[in-house]
Structure 1
Amino acid sequence: MPAADRQRPRSDFTDGQPTIRCDECRSALRSDRQQAVSFLLLDNLTIPVLSCDDHLERFTSICGLTTEASADLLDHRPAGGIICPSCRLAPYSSTRPAIPIQDGVIVPIACPEHHSEIVQRFQTGLQTHRQLSASLSTTANGSL
C-alpha cells in the first residue's frame, strides 16, 4: 500500500456521498443505459433504483421487512408506470442522494418525499433485521 494511502484517513463519505467500494455498483451508476435501472415496488410506491444486482436484492429484502405485502424488484418498467409526477421528473434532477448498503450503494431516482420514505423504510428494516438476528442468537444460545 502506498504511504499516501496509509496516511489518509478512510472516510465512508466523500462530498456528502458514500464511498462506493463495489465495482458493479460504480458501473451501474456510471451507465447511461436504461437497462441499469430497476424498479422497486413497495406497497403503493414504484421507485426506479440504480445499483448492482446483489445490493438491489439486499436492499429489497431489508425494505420488505417494513411492509405487509412483499417488496418486489423488476428489471423492466412496470405496466402502471411511475404514479408520482414528481418521481417521474426525478431523473432530470442533478442531485441523487445515495443510500449506503454494505460496500455498495442504492440510488433511488425519486422525489424528495419518496426518497425520504424509502430511507426511513430501509432504516426501519435494518432495525427489524437486527432485532430478529439478536432474538435468534439469544434463542440459539439459551435452552429450549
Structure 2
Amino acid sequence: MVNEINVDFGNGTQLSAQTGNFTIETDQPFNEGGHGSAPTPQDLFLASLATCAGHYARSFCESKNISMDGMTLKIEYKMAPDGKLINKFSYQLKLPDGFPEKYKAALLRAVDLCTIKKQLMSPPAFELELV
C-alpha cells in the first residue's frame, strides 16, 4: 500500500503538507528568513515523537483505569557538537500522585512502543527522483 503526503510551496519559507483531510503548515523562524508563522518541520518531527509517546502512556492508563491527573511528559533533546543533528533524546514522564507502583515498569514498556521512535530505530530506505 502506498500512502502519500502532498506539499504545496507557499510564500517565502512557508510550506503546507496535505495528508488525508488535514493540512499541516510549516515555516522557518525569523532568524532563518521565515515569518515564524508556523512550526518548523523539525518542530513537527519532535512533537510527533513526544505525542506518540504520550498516546501510549494515555492508552496504558486508560486500559488500567488509572487517573492521569497531574501526569506530564517532557522530551529533552541534545544536539550533536556540530549543532546540526540530534544525538540524544531524554524522556521524562512525571507520574501523578498515587500512581500504582506495580504498573510503573509496564507503563515504561508501553511508552517504549511508540511507533515514531521504533521507526527511527529501524530507518526506512529513502529515494529521491525528479519527475
Q: TM-score, normalised by structure 1?
A: 0.27
Q: Which has the larger radius of gyration?
A: 2
Q: Which has the higher helix share?
A: 1
Larger RCO, structure (CA 8 Å, separation 6 or more): 1
Q: Which has the higher strand share?
A: 2
